[in-house]
Structure 1
Amino acid sequence: MTTTIFVSSTPFDLALHRKKITESCGAPGTARPDVAVVATLPETSIENRLHLVRSAKAFIGIFGMVFGDIDPVSKKSLVQLELEEALAHHIPMLIYIMDEDEHWVLPKHVDIGASAHQLSELKGLLSQVQDVRFFDSADNLVAKVHNDLFRVLGPVGAISVSKPEPKVEVKADIKQAVRPEVKPVEKSVEKQASSEPKKVDVASSVAPMASPTKAPGTATVTPATAISAPEVAIPKAKEPVAAEPVSAAPPATSAAPVSSLASSLASKRYALTQPRFEFFKDKVKHLFGPYMSDAVLKDVLEYVLAGNTMSASSTLSRGTSLSLEDAIEEIRKTELIILDTVQRHAAQNNDVK
């Protein structure tokens, strides 16, 4: 049986992303032949938009650098109205935010001024009430969507028919949203994966560790140990006499600057006083839960406030059970919350003045 998922996004700047998601579903030979993708057009009325959202089995929200058209009645963007409708009817949600450091984007597809501020606030709220993921290209987005659909809808063919529940008119605000329940992966799949023999390739397992996923605002630094001195060819003397002694090649001089750069990046942090730490801790504690110690959280926050995302991700991964990739995702969420907090504080100060 075919089920419906609703894709919400601004139509023009993310047209390629919507097209690739649509083409990867709903037809034989695609990744999800059992899924039909529904997306609205700019001329679609608000009533039809909200009806399509309520009829969907899953809601996919994609956010780039454009806030989108504004509804003159509610003064909210159309994508925000669709989002709140999905929250009100407890539809499983998958939220994806464009990686501003990695994704290529045309200048005309970047909002400025009041629209940019509203979009930043919306992203900050989403990072607090939903599990958001970041994408750096259209293909990267499609891969993450299919991976998450497997968790929400189950494997291909696992979608069952359920009786429609009575409709209840509920108005929801994104600030009161609750994280949706995610359907766990089938145990039989996990058992089959664990029973297969695994081959360990030392070369392939070590290589990725040398180039971890780049987080926003992180400079790529070549370790000093990876720099070797240039080889110097020593000419052989034709005769055993009158041969000038040749000194050994001097060590590479570029290793020292790289080493100092790496050490300066590792030590780049913003020292937090205890009151300020408690303030920011209250803003981000819902991301990490009780398993995070104050010492580790303080180190993470000091690195994030200094823009040192690389060290913040590494510290979070070492101080918890998170993998480095998951730690980077959590640091990106933390950055969004802190950015939203700083912007709100600055706006309040301007109002006072």
Structure 2
Amino acid sequence: MNNKNKSALNFGNLIVLGLSHKTAPVETRELFSLPGSQLSSFYERLCEAGVEEAVYVSTCNRVEIFMTAEDSESAVETIKRLMEFYTKLPHEQFMSSVYTRYGTDVVKHLLSVVSSLDSMVIGENEITGQIKESYKKAVESGTTGTIMNRLFHRAFTTAKRVRTETDISKNPLSIASIAVEQAKSIFHDISTKSALLIGAGEMGELILKYLVKENLHKIVLANRTSENAERICRDIDYNADIISLNKVDQALAEVDIVITSVTAPHHVITSADIKNIMFERGGKPVFLIDIAVPRNIDPSVTETENVYLYNVDNLKDIADNNMRGRMQ
């Protein structure tokens, strides 16, 4: 992008535009979560519109674009048009959920986000790594310069200080731990149950660790590649049943709990899948917890009797209760 090596930092040119769990439900947030294959073209469009530096951030809680531009009004209009392009929606349908901040307010916002103070689960450990990964992709795409580099490195340093100099990480919580807590709240004795975990990425690995602690009867781990699934099982010294994603439908018929956290452009579990497996299960209840954004599970699965579905926003009540408990 343009003018990356300015000797003087001008935070007045900073802009962030986004939406989060505080302003929009997961049904809206997932529309703005770009697949990796579209990220390069997205950055190219920003560059063509006069945006000088940019970092696109997407997590289960938020989608945000941090950028610098001489003409902030034009840059914001560009983002609105791109949002319309990628979602196929007029901006009037989503702008009420979108926030825009400028200058030093952007700095304060990023520090709060990276330090997990703006997370659905305050004090969670995953957000810093997720922002680092987004920043890394921007660096690799050549869309960062002096301002973004210094801003994000300062944010990472601040996040580290917050964790080491405060009690925010005392008894840490996470989306992964809360997903398992939800599963525990459903059953009187979770140790007698079996679970299917779909996705062996960073979030999947965390969920697996929490599930293993509960001594479940059986855990099935589904992933695109067996190598990564085998690696995380070795790392935590657990022998899960590892299957490929195309065998998920077979596993669905045998487990009590399903937790999904895989990155996919389409639903991994459809309404048709559930109808078929419920016949095989003889109507035995199945509990689905979908913490992916975009969502992995077709929300219409709940139209089938004895199918119970929770998404990442449904976990907020548990997060809020835990936060109240930590404050007492």
Structure number with greater Rg is: 1
State the TM bucket, normalised to the shorter chain.
under 0.3
| TM-score, scaled to structure 2 | 0.26
| TM-score, scaled to structure 1 | 0.25
